[in-house]
């Protein structure tokens, strides 16, 4: 359900009739929050939940953790951060037990989970730690473009030091594997961004491209169709590959979200299960007002079904 004070409950309520055509949705969260949002939206209970029980199937099932009695939308606090984290952990346990095959996450608030003592910068890192996975990649994708990120939630000033041959190569390899396994592309084509303006212009504006080029050469030697590094300012205007590799968060997310913000989905590659999420945040500024757009969540669920 994501952060109780965010738009997660609302987009679930608005989406529930439009998802689960090929699967059974199991919601993990607090039923009190969902019921509150139903009253705000419809003035009554609209969703008939069935409690989640192993070996049974209902149209919509619910694992109610009962962590939040009353919700104040738009508020960042320890209680909501702890609830957000426990929802994730319960969902992961459900998957580990074999009772679910994919995870679709509504947004969490990083400040709130930090207040709760959870020392992870975001969903992706929590999921990788639980799964004991070291080689994982955050991909943002919509129906026109896919972009994988070499670095994720770190300050921009720390990015250059993180651009290493092994890190870039790992991103290329994990992306290539996922394109074949989940997207069923037999011979993926990947294009890689440089870090600096004009991809360093032969070392005149930075040396990181030499490291990136080494990683690309290594990937090519193992049979991967990877090209680059290319200047990022001209690379994305034409989608002529199966995925792009960007060096840092905004370099990759600006073009993919500009292309189709409503239907851009966050996909974590390298996990032992499928995980997707809408490409937007908690929407604290509009939470509880009934105006949140559920299309990103619907798309995330649809992609999770397809990749599974």
DSSP for 51-100, please give it.
Answer: E--TT---SSEEEE----SS--TT---HHHHHHHHHHHHHHHHHHHTTS-
Residue 304 is predicted with a pLDDT of: 95
Contact 306, 210 (CB under 8 A): no
Statement: residue 27 has pLDDT above 60: yes
**What three-state secondary structure class fits 135?**
coil
Statement: residue 97 has pLDDT above 80: yes
What is the phi/psi pair of residue 283, to 5°?
Answer: 60, 45
Lowest mean pLDDT among 52-56, 59-63, 98-102, 246-250: 52-56
Instruction: Match 């019921």 to its residue by tokens.
Output: 35
Statement: residue 56 has pLDDT above 50: no
Q: Give the bridge partners for 267, in sequence order.
A: 139, 276
DSSP assigned state of 237: T
CATH number (3.40.190.10, 3.40.718.10, 3.40.50.2000, 3.30.559.10) of 1-133+271-308 reads 3.40.718.10
**What three-state secondary structure class fits 226?**
strand
Q: Structural domain boundaries of the chain?
A: 1-133+271-308, 134-262
Residue 104 is predicted with a pLDDT of: 97
Q: Is the dihedral of CA 125, 129, 134, 135 positive or negative?
A: negative
Cis peptide before 287 (omega within 30 of 0): no
Tell me the residue ranges of DSSP E strands in 105-260: 137-141, 146-149, 189-193, 225-230, 243-246
Query: 58: closest CA among 27, 15, 83?
Result: 27
What is the phi/psi pair of residue 164, to 5°?
Answer: -115, 160
What is the spatial distance between Cα 195 and Cα 247, in angstroms, rounded to a whole number? Answer: 6
Residue 51 is predicted with a pLDDT of: 55
pTM (predicted TM-score): 0.88
For residue 157, what are its two tokens? 């000033």
On the question of a common fold for 1-133+271-308 and 134-262, the answer reads yes
Statement: residue 50 has pLDDT above 60: no
Residue 25 is predicted with a pLDDT of: 92
Class (C level, CATH) for 134-262: alpha beta
Query: 42: closest CA among 52, 51, 34, 30?
Result: 34
Give the pLDDT mean for 223-249: 96
What is the spatial distance between Cα 18 and Cα 13, in angstroms, rounded to a whole number? Answer: 10
Q: Is the dihedral of CA 98, 103, 106, 111 positive or negative?
A: positive
Residue 301 is predicted with a pLDDT of: 96
Task: Give, for 239, the enclosing helix (H) or strand (E).
Answer: none
Rg (CA), the chain: 20
């Amino acid at each position: 359900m994501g952060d109780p004070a965010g738009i997660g409950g609302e987009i679930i309520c608005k989406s529930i009739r439009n998802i689960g055509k090929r699967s059974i949705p199991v919601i993990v969260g607090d039923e009190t929050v969902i019921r509150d949002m139903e009253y705000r939206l419809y003035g009554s209970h609209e969703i008939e939940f069935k409690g989640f029980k192993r070996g049974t199937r209902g149209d919509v099932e619910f694992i109610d953790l009962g962590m939040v009695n009353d919700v104040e939308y738009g508020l960042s606090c320890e209680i909501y951060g702890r609830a957000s984290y426990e929802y994730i952990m319960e969902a992961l346990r459900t998957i580990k037990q074999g009772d679910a095959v994919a995870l679709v996450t509504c947004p969490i608030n990083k400040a709130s989970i930090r207040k709760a003592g959870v020392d992870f910068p975001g969903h992706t890192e929590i999921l990788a730690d639980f799964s004991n996975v070291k080689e994982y990649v955050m991909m943002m994708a919509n129906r026109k473009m896919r972009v994988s990120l070499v670095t994720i939630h770190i300050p921009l000033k720390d990015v250059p030091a993180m651009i290493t041959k092994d890190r870039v190569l790992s991103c290329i390899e994990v992306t290539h594997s996922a394109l074949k396994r989940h997207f069923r592309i037999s011979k993926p084509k990947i294009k890689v961004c440089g870090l600096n303006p004009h991809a360093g212009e032969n070392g005149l504006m930075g040396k990181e491209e030499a490291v990136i080029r080494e990683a690309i050469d290594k990937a090519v030697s193992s049979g991967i169709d990877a090209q680059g590094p290319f200047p990022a300012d001209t690379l994305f205007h034409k989608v002529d590959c199966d995925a792009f590799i960007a060096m840092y968060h905004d370099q990759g997310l600006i073009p993919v979200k500009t292309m189709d913000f409503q239907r851009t989905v966050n996909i974590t590659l390298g996990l032992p299960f499928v995980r997707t999420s809408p490409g937007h945040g908690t929407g604290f500024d509009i939470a509880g007002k009934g105006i949140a757009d559920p299309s990103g969540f619907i798309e995330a669920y649809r992609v999770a079904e397809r990749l599974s």
